């Protein structure tokens, strides 16, 4: 499949994020430098839920900036954020609470709130400057319940199936599932396959998976086989993930030169650095107009 369709207001695409909100997301992230508001900081008490919420909120802000033109924010995308833990449903807060798929212009105009954050930047002389920045929040970290991944994938298929009825010529939707644990409601493989089999005229839905962890093991990013993955669940998530389209491989090869035609959109044991890099690669369209 081509994955070359133009993304425009007349022919938008969409992103759908599936966010594990199970109780284990309250565990601490692995230590190490973080790609967050404070790049020199160490992750000490920051939870996986907090790290993922910040990463996705930042991504939503970046998508808004990408779609901003002189006359306002253009609706190049619809965006959904589904949480799955105690229940499965929209993870948006504030005015967008309960909404499944939202045009990017509405996301731009209705964050739940704006927080002030401190960011440290290099001052050019070996020290750091502290800057206060505005950080919009669309959804908050939650860690409660099990990991109903099958239910979340099935819900995603229903949402995107309906969306594709009205957008058959679009660049295919991209689904990014962020989880730290094994599904508690059965084998998610059939639901993942059904989701990947949805398609527009330009290609099948892309399903990518990010495993976040509190382990000290180095991340395994964009593998082309499951041989190096340490357990059955990581191997399952790898097999559930879509192959990277050609244009994404070209983008990723800048940082990951070992990428091959068998590389899938999967990161194991991702820290926030690898999560943010993955989200950046996975949300770049091939042809934005």
pLDDT in tens, 251-285: 888 888 999 999 999 999 887 777 888 888 877 76
**Per-residue pLDDT tens over the stretch 95-135:** 999 999 999 999 999 999 999 888 777 767 777 778 888 99
Is 70 exceeded by the pLDDT of residue 162? Answer: yes
Sequence-distant (6+) residues with CB within 8 A of 278 are 208, 210, 221, 222, 265, 267, 270
- Contact criterion met (CB below 8 Å) for 24 and 181: yes
Handedness of CA 97, 102, 106, 111 (dihedral sign): positive
Burial of 79 (0-12, 13-18, 19+ CB in 10 A): buried
Instruction: Tell me the β-bridge partners of 220.
Output: 268
pTM of the model: 0.89
Sequence-distant (6+) residues with CB within 8 A of 26 are 47, 48, 49, 143
Residue 24 corresponds to which tokens in the numbers above?
């284990």
Quick one: DSSP state of residue 5?
A: P
Question: Cα separation of 61 and 64, whole Å?
Answer: 5
Place of tokens 């309250």: 26
**Helices 189-197 & 149-165 angle (0-180, nearest 10):** 10
pLDDT value of position 173: 95
pLDDT value of position 45: 65
pLDDT value of position 286: 62
Helix or strand holding residue 61 (H, E): helix 48-67
Question: Cα separation of 174 and 13, whole Å?
Answer: 8
**Per-residue pLDDT tens over the stretch 106-117:** 999 999 999 988
Please tell me the CATH code under which domain 13-282 is placed.
3.40.50.410
Question: Cα separation of 169 and 158, whole Å?
Answer: 18
Average pLDDT over residues 217-229: 91
Average per-residue pLDDT for the chain: 88
Instruction: Tell me the β-bridge partners of 56.
Output: none
Sequence-distant (6+) residues with CB within 8 A of 260 are 224
Question: Cα separation of 72 and 192, whole Å?
Answer: 36
């Amino acid at each position: 499949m081509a994955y070359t369709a133009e993304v425009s207001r007349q022919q938008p695409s969409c992103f759908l994020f599936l966010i594990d909100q199970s109780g284990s997301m309250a565990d601490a992230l692995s230590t190490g430098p973080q790609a967050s508001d404070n790049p020199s900081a160490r992750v000490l008490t920051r939870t996986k839920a907090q790290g993922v919420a910040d990463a996705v909120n930042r991504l939503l802000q970046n998508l808004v900036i990408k779609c901003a033109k002189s006359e306002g924010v253009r609706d190049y995308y619809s965006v959904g954020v589904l949480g799955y833990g105690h229940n499965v449903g929209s993870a948006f807060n504030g005015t967008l609470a309960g909404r499944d798929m939202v045009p990017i212009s509405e996301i731009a105009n209705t964050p739940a709130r704006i927080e002030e954050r401190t960011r440290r930047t290099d001052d050019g002389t070996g020290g750091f400057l502290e800057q206060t920045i505005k950080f919009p929040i669309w959804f908050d970290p939650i860690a409660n319940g099990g990991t109903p991944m099958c239910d979340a994938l099935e819900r995603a298929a229903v949402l995107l199936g309906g969306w594709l009825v009205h957008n058959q010529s679009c660049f295919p939707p991209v689904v990014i599932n962020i989880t730290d644990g094994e599904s508690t409601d059965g084998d998610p493989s059939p639901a993942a396959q059904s989701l990947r089999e949805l398609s527009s005229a330009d290609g099948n839905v892309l399903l990518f998976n990010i495993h976040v962890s509190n382990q000290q093991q180095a991340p395994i990013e964009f593998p082309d086989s499951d041989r190096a993955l340490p357990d059955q669940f990581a191997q399952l998530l790898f097999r559930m993930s879509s192959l990277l389209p050609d244009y994404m491989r070209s983008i990723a090869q800048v940082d990951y030169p070992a990428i091959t035609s068998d590389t899938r959109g999967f990161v194991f044991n991702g820290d926030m650095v690898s999560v943010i890099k993955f989200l950046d690669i996975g949300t770049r369209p091939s042809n934005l107009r």
